[in-house]
Structure 1
Amino acid sequence: MSTVLGSIWWLVVALGVLVTFHEFGHFWVARRCGVKVLRFSVGFGKPLWTHHGKDGTEYVLAAIPLGGYVRMLDEREDEVPAHLLPQAFNRKPVLQRIAIVAAGPVANLVLAFALLWAMLVIGRPDFAPVVGSASAIAAQAGLHAGDQVLAIGDRATPTWSELVMALSVDALDRQPVVMQIRHTDGSTVQRTLPLQNLPTSVDELHALTAIGLVPRHLLVPALVGKVRQASPAWGVLAEGDRITAIDAHPVASFEDIAPLVAKLGQRGGPGMIEVERDGERLALEMTPASMPGNDGQAHWILGITNAAPTAPPHDAVLRLGPLAAVPAAVRETGYQAKQIVNMVARAVSGRVSVQNTVSGPITIARAANDFAARGPAWFLNFLALLSVSLALINLLPIPVLDGGHLLYYLIELTIRRPLGERAMAVGQYLGLAMIAGLMGLAFYNDILHLVS
């Protein structure tokens, strides 16, 4: 399946699941409150499939899978026969109307919990939170290659993904954070990462790079690719050799080779290059050569390139038993909700760019395809995050959204009478304008990301 078709397919699947659960929340509570539901629609536009249930509800699958709705009996929309007035939504007590409207976002939060529980039980393949190399702020904090990050602040980091999520959030606030570290000798220490030293010019997308942490699984293996003719390595090293040490200094990745070769060249004379070849360990004598680079400066070289890197295998799994996964899924649902709320607050205050916090269907579709390609557990994790986002977006106090209706009903509870039709109409127009603005911003960001 091509990337475009895959993105469209997984977007439809994701929105179909989330919208169905959201609208089912409204539907289920409305029925329990005695409200007659006229239509339950997943999608907008022309109906592709219709079924008339024995309960009098018309169930519809529509052509545009970017939302859905539950249409209830309401005197404000249609003329209601006298014998059906008790089943009209607008005739119900305000607390019941609040429950019906709030049921959609609540259903999405319940769905997020269920998805996260399933993800934890299935097991999400990942990478161990082991440092490959440390520079900049990470080096200032005393982190070294081989260190395993056990926790950042009060959040455990069993995998590298948890580390990235926690660290990216803390980096936005530019506050020092305490890290729990396990050294290669097994000892456990605390290190304070001075995130307040991050340059103000570094945005949220580049904060992790500026911190200077490179994971072990992203290090390029020190495998020899091509050997340049007439170079020091010609006739000595062979394609596929794994370099393990240079002049008695261990080599963990291809990035370690250049500075060690430079030290050997500056020292003068030959040095021993230790390699693994066909299961054997060899020590080969070699003298680096000084040659001008693309920058016009002289560089000490061996005359080798790295072999094409392959995707590293996962070396960690985030998995819990069915019972242990229940409180963990509850905590993760709350954590995701808290971070989304904080991110919106940061965007409103200008601490993060709205270009990186408001995404449209194109970005969501590409992300859905990417997570689906990683496996079912990753896709469940993605759906859970989307479900939490959908719940919180719908709770924004914007007329047209569930949060706007809840605002109306809370005002009604306060003043002990419904808002006037004129005030509600003005609110609806304002809400439509705000939604149109958000959609325009989302599509603009989508296009901007595609172009960049």
Structure 2
Amino acid sequence: MLTVFHNVLDWAPLGLPAFVFVITFVVGIHELGHFLVARLFGVGVETFSIGFGNEIFGWTDRKGTRWKVSWLPIGGYVKFLGDEDAASTPDRERLAQMNAEERSHTLPYKPLVQRVLVAAAGPAANFLLAIVVFTFLFTFFGVKALSTYVGSVTPKSPAAMAGIKPGDKITAIDHRPVRLFAELPGLIDRSNGRPLDIAIDRNGEAMVLSVTPRVISTKDIYGTPVKVVAIGVGFGPDTPENTVYVPIPILEAPLAAVGQTWGIVDMTFTYLWRIVSHHADASQLGGPIGMAQMAKSAASHGPYELVYLLAFISVSIGLINLFPIPLLDGGHLLYYGCEAVLGRPLGEQAQDLGFRLGLALVLGLMIFATWNDLVR
């Protein structure tokens, strides 16, 4: 356990500031989405806070909203008129004491469609932020990918037996030029086990080696055991010489950004479904320490990686908040869906029970994910 905390302290000087910046910015945009749509519909907003805890500094705008920065900068919240807390739980006692004019500016007394839009605005802002950021990166830098340098060779694998070594750069497979490491698995898989002529560059010397792929057991990105046709090479390190930026035409960048955003959503749902169906390892689920380590790694590699991580986490936060768990935006949407079906809001006891169960579930998942981080 001492080693675990030593590792935490090791990444803290760089990882913690990067983590705080990414989380605060992404959550700030999320809350800004709620704020703007609520203001649009005339909902009173009492507080817009960056961070939690006691206020460091702030100001009150002409509409009475207190904008503030608080001591614990790991997120933020918007507190609407009539809310009991930062989770937008209605303060029923306070609402009962308001007159009709005051209640007309509270979220619970707005039409159902407006409440749905306010709840959905936070996740929508996260998805929009990700699309804008990905569009910027793809337009001005391109899509980052790894080149074809070999980082590792599995002992006794087809590649090892053919003489491929770490540091070699694969330049062609069966006379087809390759530029990206991501191209290799598809070309190798399509060989159906027949010998391949693999051209490599070894310290400036060109050579062609005959490699016969075979079926090997490995794990996919979700930790699920799979069998693939492979030669037994791993990609090289994320270094400048092994990095390729694939240009995207400016008119295609927004569409590519939407595709990238959807890819993250699809990957998340696939992983969660595999956990539920016992086809993936739940220990791969990461928490705040894992995100901080990712932030440190991204910050140490440069601005591109840190900005990309910001967009990735923005998609993740937007998606997680849509889960139908009371306390999250998706929980509010679940309540509104029940209201639309029943023709009336759920009873106070049912809502309160849902919020308590939601809080327990969210805290439980956070503890589980943090434990996974510490174990790793």
TMscore range, shorter length: 0.7 to 0.9
Partner of 2:62: 54
Q: CA deviation at 1:121?
A: 2.5
Q: Tell whether 2:339 aligns with 1:392.
A: no
- Cα distance in 2 for partners of 1:82, 1:339 equals 47
| Per-residue deviation, 1:412 | 0.4
Kept in 1, the 8 Å contact 2:81–2:105? The answer is yes
Match of 1:86 among 82, 104, 110: 104
Q: CA distance change for structure 1 residues 212 and 57 in 2, over 3 Å: closer, same or farther?
A: farther
CA contact (8 A) 1:395 1:403 kept: yes
* In 2, Cα distance between equivalents of 1:10 and 1:336: 21
Whole-angstrom CA distance in 2 between matches of 1:125 and 1:412: 46
**Conservation of the 8 A alpha-carbon contact between 1:48 and 1:63:** yes
Give me the whole-angstrom Cα distance separating, in 1, the residues matched to 2:65 and 2:334: 28
Match of 2:23? 15
Q: TM-score, normalised by structure 1?
A: 0.64
Q: Following superposition of structure 1 onto structure 2, how do residues 167-178 of structure 1 map, counting pairs within 5 Å? A: none
Within 5 Å, give how 1:226-265 maps onto structure 2. Answer: none
Distance of 2:321 and 2:303 partners within structure 1? 27
Q: Is the 8 A contact 1:396 1:403 kept in 2?
A: yes
Using the alignment, how far apart are the partners of 2:52 and 2:122 within structure 1?
A: 17
Correspondence for 2:86: none
- The aligned counterpart of 2:265 is 337
Report the Cα offset of residue 214 of structure 1.
Answer: 2.5
Other structure's SS at 1:198 match: strand
| TM-score where L is the length of structure 2 | 0.76
Superposition pairs for residues 1-400 of structure 1, below 5 Å? Answer: 3-74=11-82, 76-77=90-91, 78-79=94-95, 80-123=98-141, 126-129=145-148, 139=158, 146=170, 159-160=180-181, 184=199, 198=217, 204=223, 213-215=232-234, 217=236, 313-357=241-285, 359-400=286-327
User: Which residue identity is paired with 1:116?
Assistant: F
**Post-superposition CA distance 1:160-199 (Å, at most 9, x none):** 4x569xx7xx9xxxxx9658999649xxxxxxx987x526
Cα separation, 2, equivalents of 1:139 and 1:26: 55
Identity level (%): 30
Mapped to 1, the partners of 2:255 and 2:48 lie a distance apart of 33
Summarize the Cα distance change of 1:200–1:26 in structure 2 as closer, same or farther, 3 Å threshold. Answer: closer
Do the aligned partners of residues 177 and 115 (structure 1) sit closer, same or farther apart at CA in structure 2, a change above 3 Å counting?
A: farther
Partner SS, residue 83 of structure 1: helix
Query: What is the rounded CA distance, in whole Å, between the counterparts of 1:105 and 1:352 in structure 2?
Result: 26
AA aligned to 1:16 is T
Mapped to 2, the partners of 1:315 and 1:430 lie a distance apart of 46
Q: How far apart, in 2, do the equivalents of 1:144 and 1:25 lie?
A: 56
Deviation at 1:442, TM superposition (A): 1.5
Tell me if structure 2 keeps the 8 A contact 1:38–1:72. Answer: yes
CA distance, structure 2, for counterparts of residue 208 and residue 312 of structure 1: 32
Name the counterpart of 2:333: 406
Query: Equivalent residue of 2:137, what SS?
Result: helix
Inter-partner Cα distance in structure 2 for 1:443 and 1:27: 30
Which stretch has the larger CA shift, 399-408 or 124-133?
124-133
Rg larger in structure: 1
Contact kept in structure 1, 2:150 and 2:235, CA below 8 Å? yes
CA distance in 2, matches of 1:208, 1:11: 36
C-alpha separation between the residues in 1 aligned to 2:272 and 2:156? 27
User: Which is bigger in relative contact order (C-alpha 8 A, separation at least 6)?
Assistant: 2
The whole-number CA distance in structure 1 between the counterparts of 2:229 and 2:323 is 34
Is contact 2:189–2:229 with CA below 8 Å preserved after alignment?
A: no
In structure 2, relative to structure 1, the CA distance for the partners of 1:159 and 1:20 (3 Å cut) is farther
Please tell me whether the aligned partners of residues 25 and 107 of structure 1 are also in contact (alpha carbons under 8 angstroms).
yes
Alignment CA distance shift 1:214-1:13 (3 Å):
same
Cα RMSD after superposing both structures: 3.9
Residues 128/88 of structure 1: CA separation in 2 closer, same or farther (3 Å cut): same
- The residue number in structure 2 matching 1:419 is 346
Unpaired segments ≥5 residues, structure 1: 150-156, 171-175, 186-192, 219-309
- The CA deviation at 1:22 is 0.4
For residues 298-318 of structure 1, the C-alpha deviation after alignment (integer angstroms, 9 at most, x for no partner) is xxxxxxxxxxxx967235213
| Contact 1:137–1:211 (Cα < 8 Å) also in 2 | no
**Relative to total residues, which structure has the larger helix share, 1 or 2?**
2
Q: Which residue number in structure 2 is paired with residue 278 of structure 1?
A: none
1:319-375: per-residue Cα shift (whole Å, max 9, x none)?
324322111111111111111111111122221111112x12111111101111111
| Gap runs ≥5 in structure 2 | 1-8, 84-89, 165-169, 201-212
* Mapped pair 1:433 → 2:360: yes
Partners of 2:276 and 2:303 in 1: CA distance: 34
Aligned length: 332
Contact 1:158 1:318 in 2 (8 A): no
CA separation of 1:60/1:446 partners in 2, compared to 1, >3 Å: closer, same or farther? same
